[in-house]
Chain A
Amino acid sequence: GIQVEQSPPDLILQEGANSTLRCNFSDSVNNLQWFHQNPWGQLINLFYIPSGTKQNGRLSATTVATERYSLLYISSSQTTDSGVYFCAVCAPGADGLTFGKGTHLIIQP
């Protein structure tokens, strides 16, 4: 099946810093989503982005499907951005999302 690798696994930053999270995937995809898992365990949708670039406030994402990677950018980090960020993909012909292991982000005040 399709493989998803996220980097870095852990990231500790000061409030106000910018960060880039990466997601590599092993095959073509027809769905790619970024999630933020908050301390209560909820999975919050950030982006649906199988290709192209999107922005939502301080967050933006870019997927280069031909090179099989996606990037999530967080600017001017706040302590509430802390948590685990997951990338998940779905290969053509499949229904279920395959998740990466996540990037654990800690934003220190």
Chain B
Amino acid sequence: EPEVTQTPSHQVTQMGQEVILRCVPISNHLYFYWYRQILGQKVEFLVSFYNNEISEKSEIFDDQFSVERPDGSNFTLKIRSTKLEDSAMYFCASSRDIEETQYFGPGTRLLVL
């Protein structure tokens, strides 16, 4: 069964550094998403992406965040200048259509020191 994959599984970075989190969505899916979960808290929506542009973004998704689909398979989340409070699990998800199941990847655990 096709799965969403994410790399790396863990990343440790210094405050102020840029990080890029990578995702490979399910191949026939058209909608892509990023979510985050701060330790012990609920999962929060960051951004959705469709037809090579941002479809919706939350208040969390400020100017330090950006998303890109650099080729036909990868979907990336860039954090330009990481802060301590960016430490979280970041999940990528994809869906075939907007009103269909969103399938989540295994997550990237980001620790900012």
- Which A residues contact B (CB, under 8 angstroms)? 30-31, 33, 35, 40-43, 45, 48, 50, 86, 88, 90, 94-102
Contact partner of B42 (CB less than 8 A), chosen from A95, A96, A102, is: A102
Interface flag for B22 (CB, 8 Å): no
- Which B residues contact A (CB, under 8 angstroms)? 31, 33, 35, 37, 41-48, 50, 55-56, 58, 89, 91, 98-104, 106-107, 109
Q: A41-B109, A45-B104 are in contact. Are A95 and B56 (CB under 8 A)?
A: yes
Contacts of A35 on B, CB cut-off 8 Å? 104
**Is chain B's interface secondary structure helix, strand, loop, or mixed overall?**
strand
Contacts of B109 on A, CB cut-off 8 Å? 41
Minimum distance in angstroms from B69 CB to a CB of chain A: 15
Q: A94-B56, A95-B33, A96-B58 are in contact. Are A31 and B99 (CB under 8 A)?
A: yes
